[in-house]
Amino acid sequence: MLINPLSKRNRVTHMNLTTVEEGKEYIISHIDTNDEELNAFLFSLGCYSGEPITVVSRRKSSCTVSIKDGRYNIDTSLAAAIIVA
């Protein structure tokens, strides 16, 4: 049986942290930025490909995320750069 890679059932949906459900754990797919300083900062928080992340709460201009054993408040532009599956 051949699997159609374009089938909705088999397609992995990638979203950023501004659109995900609060309280649900997601896996970081990648960081969508060309800013090396931002990449280094996120890496120091434990925010890199393959790591679980949860949006704890969302406000107008920021959201609180849980990464590993820490909680961090990040602005929406940074949250938009974190792509999850």
Tens digits of per-residue pLDDT, 49-84?
999 999 999 998 999 999 998 999 999 999 999 999
Instruction: Give the per-residue pLDDT at 14.
Output: 83
Work out the average pLDDT over 18-35.
95
Q: For residue 2, is pLDDT > 80?
A: no
Q: For residue 42, is pLDDT > 80?
A: yes
Alpha-carbon distance of 73 to 48, in angstroms, equals 17
| pTM for the whole structure | 0.81
Instruction: Domain 15-84: state its class.
Output: mainly beta
* Domain extent listing, the chain: 15-84
Q: For residue 5, is pLDDT > 60?
A: no
Beta strands 62-67 and 70-75, pairing class? antiparallel
CB proximity list for 77: less than 8 A, separation 6 or greater: none
Helix (H, G, I), strand (E, B) or coil at 76: helix
